[in-house]
Amino acid sequence: MGAVLGDIIGVAVLGFLAFAVLSLLVMRTPVTPGFARRSPTTSSVQLRQDPNAGFIFDRGFLFRRRCWFVGTCCPPTKIDPRRQGEMHADQRARPVPLVASGGRVWWWFEGTFYWESGRYSERDVLALIRDRQRRSAQRLDRAHMLLNIDEGKAARPRGRREPIPREVRRAVFERDGGKCAQCASTFDLQYDHVIPVALGGATSAQNLQLLCADCNREKGADLLVTPASVRFGVSLTTASLSECRSSRPGSVSDSSPAAGCGLALAIPLDLSSSPPVS
């Protein structure tokens, strides 16, 4: 009887060893995608959504479940599967830090992945994400307004340009951190109406943002190429644009091609009158 029991134990041990060896033979580190092999191309402090980020699940030693996180410029990084389950629940209510790689930290919030390079706290990340969501909603409102005007469902409002109050300038400057809302540049900043005054946009902190001259020109180009601009009778020739600018001397930056036409309204940032970032 003892010999039989010893044989059973020996077979069990051999079976376990074979199982362990087989798991080691098939165990591999996940293949690193191309987007994860790249090195960061910018050193500016920012927070960006990462559409490439996600989790990879496979089997490791003894075929135990493993979890890896991968993102843009972030090779597969191992995460405890149990911790991943906890983070999945936590990210519904607050930003959750995942991994750090190459000077960046990846966060998970409301089903979306973000990376940041500013060593932000959880509350910092939440504030920046909410700010991105508000700006996205403003851009969508502006796009719908242009579409309604283009389709004849809404009349073109007759807006009037008003000076931006000092307290509004200060609020916008501090909210945007004294840098371009699109690219984070601090050079040649301008106060820009998200919804242009000519389309009914208000001169309020909610409808104003800081843009550098390049980003503001890109936004102006987006407005000028719409069929609505033709409906309004706006000519895109150099002469007419010059005439538009000269009709309102000094009211907008000459870097904006549609400066005097009321389509892309940009107000140069007067750093002498704008408060410093506290």
Confirm whether 273 is domain-assigned.
no
> Do 110 and 60 belong together in one domain?
yes
Asked if residue 144 and residue 109 are part of one domain, the reply reads no
Q: Is residue 89 domain-shared with residue 199, that is, in the same domain?
A: no
The closest alpha carbon to 44, from 154, 150, 180, belongs to 180
Domain count, the chain: 2
Residue 232 belongs to what domain range?
139-268
pLDDT for res 35: 92
Q: Token digits for 83? A: 């911790």
pTM value is 0.56
Q: What is the mean pLDDT of the chain?
A: 78
Q: Is residue 220 part of a domain?
A: yes
Q: Quick: pLDDT tens for 161-178.
A: 678 999 999 999 999 999
Q: Predicted confidence band at 138 (pLDDT cuts at 50, 70, 90)?
A: confident
Query: Of the given ranges (21-35, 91-105, 143-157, 222-236), which has the lowest mean pLDDT?
Result: 222-236
pLDDT tens string 51-102: 999 999 999 888 889 999 999 999 999 999 999 999 999 999 999 999 999 8
DSSP secondary structure letter of residue 44: S
pLDDT range class, residue 196, cuts 50, 70, 90: confident
Same domain, yes or no, for 103 and 174? no
Check residue 216 and give its pLDDT.
87
166 and 256 share a domain? yes
Residue closest to 90 by CA, chosen among 48, 126, 51: 126
Q: Give yes or no: residues 208 and 97 share one domain.
A: no
Of 47, 82, 116, the residue at which a domain comes to its end is: 116
Same domain? 223 vs 259 = yes
Residue 8, in any domain of the structure? no
pLDDT per residue as tens digits for the range 235-273: 333 333 333 333 333 333 333 333 333 333 444 444 444
How long a stretch of residues is the chain? 278
